[in-house]
Amino acid sequence: MPKPSVSVLLQRLRKAHPSARYELDWETPVQLLVATILAAQCRDSVVNQVTKKLFPKYPDAKAFANADLAELEAMVRSTGTYKVKAKSIRGACARLVESFGGQVPRRMEDMLTLPGVQRKTANVVLNSAYDIASGVIVDTHVARVSQRLGLSTETKPDAIERDLMEVVPQRDWTFFGPAMVLHGRYVCTAKGPKCGGCIFEDLCDQVGVDVQGSPAVSHDDVPMETDLFELPASWRHVLRDEIEKPYFHQLRAFVEAERRDHEVFPPARDMFSALELTAYDKVKVLLLGQDPYHDVGQAHGLCFSVRPGIKPPPSLVNMFKELRDDLGVGIASTGYLVPWAKQGILMLNAVLTVRAHEPNSHKDRGWEQLTDAILSKVNDKSEPVVFVLWGSYAQKKAKLIDDSRHIILKAAHPSPLSAKLFMGSKPFSGINQALRNNGQREIDWTLGG
Nearer to ligand SF4, 148 or 357 (CB): 148
Q: What is the DSSP letter of 221?
A: G
Closest contact distance (angstroms) between CB of 120 and ligand SF4 is: 20
User: Which residues inside 346-375 make contact with ligand SF4, applying CB under 6 A?
Assistant: none
Closest contact distance (angstroms) between CB of 232 and ligand SF4 is: 27
Closest contact distance (angstroms) between CB of 6 and ligand SF4 is: 14
Query: According to CB under 6 A, which one of 125, 198, 277, 348 is a site residue for ligand SF4?
Result: 198
Closest contact distance (angstroms) between CB of 181 and ligand SF4 is: 13
Binding segment for ligand SF4 (CB under 6 A), chosen from 111-119, 199-207, 253-261, 327-335, is: 199-207
Q: How far is CA 97 from CA 56, 69, 91, 92, 124, in A?
A: 19, 17, 10, 9, 20
Binding segment for ligand SF4 (CB under 6 A), chosen from 203-211, 237-245, 355-363, 416-424, is: 203-211
Residue 16 in contact with ligand SF4, rule: CB under 6 A:
no
Nearer to ligand SF4, 94 or 145 (CB): 145
**Rounded Cα–Cα distance for residues 335 and 303 (Å):** 11
DSSP per-residue string spanning 203-246: T---TTT-SSSSPPPPGGGS-TT--TTPPPHHHHHHTTTGGGSH
Catalytic residue among 205, 291, 295, 326, which?
A: 291
Contact 275, 235 (CB under 8 A): yes
Nearer to ligand SF4, 194 or 321 (CB): 194
Contact 217, 267 (CB under 8 A): no
Closest contact distance (angstroms) between CB of 192 and ligand SF4 is: 9
**Rounded Cα–Cα distance for residues 93 and 96 (Å):** 5
How many residues would you count in the chain?
449
Nearer to ligand SF4, 193 or 391 (CB): 193
Give residue 1's identity as a one-letter amino acid code.
M
Q: Is the dihedral of CA 117, 122, 124, 126 positive or negative?
A: positive
User: Which residues inside 62-121 make contact with ligand SF4, applying CB under 6 A?
Assistant: none
Closest contact distance (angstroms) between CB of 140 and ligand SF4 is: 14
Q: How far is CA 10 from CA 31, 111, 172, 200, 333, in A?
A: 29, 28, 8, 11, 30
Nearer to ligand SF4, 208 or 414 (CB): 208
Nearer to ligand SF4, 9 or 137 (CB): 9
Total residues interacting with ligand SF4, rule: CB under 6 A: 14
For residue 358, list its beta bridge partners.
355
Closest contact distance (angstroms) between CB of 43 and ligand SF4 is: 20
For residue 346, list its beta bridge partners.
286
Nearer to ligand SF4, 1 or 253 (CB): 1
**Rounded Cα–Cα distance for residues 154 and 312 (Å):** 9
Nearer to ligand SF4, 216 or 329 (CB): 216
The verdict on whether 25 is a catalytic residue reads no
Binding segment for ligand SF4 (CB under 6 A), chosen from 47-55, 200-208, 351-359, 418-426, is: 200-208
Contact 406, 377 (CB under 8 A): no
Contact 38, 85 (CB under 8 A): yes
**Rounded Cα–Cα distance for residues 9 and 200 (Å):** 7
Residue 388 in contact with ligand SF4, rule: CB under 6 A:
no
Contact 148, 204 (CB under 8 A): yes
Query: According to CB under 6 A, which one of 166, 201, 227, 256 is a site residue for ligand SF4?
Result: 201
DSSP per-residue string spanning 398-439: GGGS-TTTSEEEEE---STTTHHHHTT--HHHHHHHHHHHTT
Query: According to CB under 6 A, which one of 65, 93, 125, 204 is a site residue for ligand SF4?
Result: 204
Residue 209 in contact with ligand SF4, rule: CB under 6 A:
yes
Binding pattern to ligand SF4, positions 291-330, x when CB under 6 A?
----------------------------------------
User: Could you check whether the bond before residue 266 is cis, i.e. omega within 30 degrees of 0?
Assistant: yes
Residue 437: count other Cβ atoms within 10 Å of its Cβ.
Answer: 11
User: Which residues inside 136-195 make contact with ligand SF4, applying CB under 6 A?
Assistant: 145, 148-149, 187-188, 193-195
Q: Which helix or strand (DSSP H or E) is residue 349 part of?
A: strand 345-349
**Phi/psi of residue 289, nearest 5 degrees:** -105, -170
Query: According to CB under 6 A, which one of 22, 55, 58, 200 is a site residue for ligand SF4?
Result: 200
Closest contact distance (angstroms) between CB of 195 and ligand SF4 is: 3
Work out the angle between the directed axes of helices 6-16 and 173-186 (0-180°, nearest 10): 70
Catalytic residues: 291
Task: Give the interface with ligand SF4 as residue ranges (CB under 6 A).
Answer: 145, 148-149, 187-188, 193-195, 198, 200-201, 204, 206, 209
